[in-house]
Amino acid sequence: MEQNKETIFRLMVTSVDTLRQQIEKYNHRFKTDFEIIKVIDDEVMFCDIKVTKFQTSDIFGLGFTLARFEQKLREEGKIDW
């Protein structure tokens, strides 16, 4: 079921640049429109994300692909915790 209602949610991230890369790839592949609207850089970094063209599973899908990509970068020594 496709949603047409604007939804905003907050995601904890290691790197805003990594999230931007994954959003671009995910949007292209799955025809979604995830967009970072706010970055909160405190002790832990968070991003507020807006989306209107999505299925509920896409929110999980974006988080999962981001986590997998970050783990790959950790294994390669390109980022740390």
pLDDT digit string, tens, across residues 30-73: 999 999 999 999 889 999 999 999 999 999 999 999 999 999 99
- Signed CA dihedral, 15, 63, 48, 28: sign only: positive
Classify 72 as helix, strand or coil: helix
HEC string of 4-62 equals CCCEEEEEEECCHHHHHHHHHHHHHHHCCCCEEEEEEECCCEEEEEEECCECHHHHHHH
pTM (2 d.p.): 0.88
